[in-house]
Amino acid sequence: MKPLYKGKHFITLEDWSKEQIDKLLEVSHDLKEKFKTNVPTPYLDNKTSFNMFFEQSTRTRNSMEAGLAQLGGHATFLDTSTMQISHGESAKDTAVILSSYGHAIACRNCFWEVGNDFLNKMAKHSTVPILSLQDDLYHPMQGLADLMTIQEKTETTKNLKVSVIWAYASSHKKPISVPLTQILLFPRYGMDVTLAYPEGYDLPKWAIEKAKKNALENGGTFKITHNMDEAYINADIVIPKNWGSWVTNQSDEVVDDLLESYKSWKCTEEMISKASPNVYYMHALPADRGNEVEDSVIDGTHSIVYQEAENRLHTAKAVMVMTIGDK
């Protein structure tokens, strides 16, 4: 019988059924418990992953490298600026060669209208699973860790009021992949999802329609508002995070008049006070402190960002065990 998971690409959670995602979460929890109790987990002994990065990384790179080492394997970090890709080598040639050397290829490529296409081109020609470490549309590793964290902190996800909220930041023009992944995934678990953003920071229409469909099919709801206050009121979980205006403006310029006109979109103590008394604040990190969020919020009692970040290790390990191992 063909394994259900081995060799399966991990590019978007939309390609994974709820049953498969639940299995990933089950394995994540088991690996987390074993990590806490120092139980060895040599499930990927002598396995190799080639981890390609077109951009900088802290959590993603280290969770993958530490995770595979804890599973008995080895991760090779590849800065793509030092690879022949930088001289024009194709995704096909890269995938064919690297997949002949090891057991997985992981890649972060967030360039707009390039990244997801690049990963899918590699997937077409690779003989091993392609694992997305984030592209211009999806961040499945982050989405899985977010879901795990929410399940750990709440009794049920059914009709949980979750608000994905745009926030002001000026550090760089950030991808849309985190909020897009969240609005597609959370409704599949029956959550009542609100997407809040100023006009001009839209997500793709196809993603909005799919989020509505996922909500309808799984007993959740999905709505959009351009009113920040409305998103906070009575919310159980708030996820205020910046994303760039890629859908409406493909310029690489970070700071423009549109961005500067929405400096008030910030997670403050005042905003948090509008939410449920037991609201949780989440963020994929790195947070643009002082712009996206006040220190008193991200460092306060409502914040679960460090638990969320830690879970990146355990979910990454689960993905690797299930796709590289003999499951």
The answer to the question of residue 5 being in a domain is: no
Is 197 domain-assigned? yes
Residue 304 covered by a domain: yes
Task: Tell me which residue range forms the domain holding 300.
Answer: 142-308
If you ran DSSP here, which 8-state letter would residue 241 be given?
E
3-class secondary-structure state, position 221: strand
Mean pLDDT of 107-126: 98
Number of domains in the chain: 2
Domain shared by 124 and 221, yes or no: no
Express as a percent the part of the chain with pLDDT over 90: 98
Tell me, yes or no, whether 179 lies in a domain.
Answer: yes
Name the β-bridge partners of 67: none
pLDDT of residue 72: 98
Structure confidence at residue 178 as a pLDDT band (50, 70, 90): very high
What's the mean pLDDT in 172-196? 98
71 in the same domain as 59: yes
pLDDT band with cut points at 50, 70 and 90 for residue 3: low
Question: Between helices 18-36 and 140-153, what is the axis angle to 10°?
Answer: 70
Question: Does residue 4 belong to any structural domain of this protein?
Answer: no
Flag whether 81 is in a domain: yes
Q: Are residues 302 and 220 in the same domain?
A: yes
pTM assigned to the model: 0.97
Q: What is the mean pLDDT of the chain?
A: 97
Residue from 279, 280, 278, 298 nearest 288 by CA: 298
Answer yes or no: do 26 and 126 share one domain. yes
- Residues 170, 45, single domain; the answer is no
Question: Are 261 and 272 in a shared domain?
Answer: yes
Q: Lay out the sheet containing 48-53: strands in order across.
A: 74-79, 48-53, 104-109, 130-135
**Which residues have CB under 8 Å from 307's CB, separation 6+?**
149, 152, 153
DSSP state of 245: -
pLDDT, mean of residues 221-250: 98
Q: What is the pLDDT of residue 286?
A: 97
Question: Does residue 205 register a pLDDT over 90?
Answer: yes
Q: What angle do CA 284, 77, 121 make, to 5 degrees?
A: 80
Q: What is the pLDDT of residue 266?
A: 98
pLDDT the model gives residue 274: 98
Is residue 141 over pLDDT 60? yes
How much of the chain exceeds pLDDT 70, in percent? 99
Query: How far apart, in whole angstroms, are the C-alpha atoms of residue 17 and residue 272?
Result: 34
**pLDDT value, residue 4:** 80
Same domain (yes/no): 132, 225: no
Give the per-residue pLDDT at 138: 98
My answer on whether 133 and 196 are in the same domain is no
Residue 6 inside a domain? The answer is no
Query: What's the pLDDT at 1?
Result: 38
pLDDT digits (tens, 9 = 90+) for 243-263: 999 999 999 999 999 999 999
**3-class DSSP assignment, residue 124:** helix
One domain for residues 91 and 208:
no
Encoded tokens for 232: 């906070």
* Cβ–Cβ under 8 Å, residues 47 and 68: yes
Torsion sign, CA atoms 153, 22, 109, 98: positive
The model's pLDDT over 42-94, given as tens digits with 9 standing for 90+, comes to 999 999 999 999 999 999 999 999 999 999 999 999 999 999 999 999 999 99
Domain at 243, CATH number: 3.40.50.1370
Q: Verify that 303 and 202 share a domain, yes or no.
A: yes
> Where do the H-state alpha helices sit in the chain?
18-36, 59-70, 91-101, 115-125, 140-153, 177-185, 205-218, 228-232, 257-260, 269-272, 295-298, 305-324
The answer to whether residues 59 and 146 belong to one domain is no
Q: Residue 314 carries which DSSP code?
A: H
CB contact set of 184 (below 8 Å; sequence gap of 6+): 13, 14, 143, 207, 210, 211, 214
3: in domain = no
Q: 327: pLDDT confidence band, cut at 50, 70 and 90?
A: low
Phi/psi for 130 (5° steps) reads -95, 125
> Does one domain contain both 247 and 187?
yes
Q: What pLDDT is stored for residue 326 in this prediction? A: 78
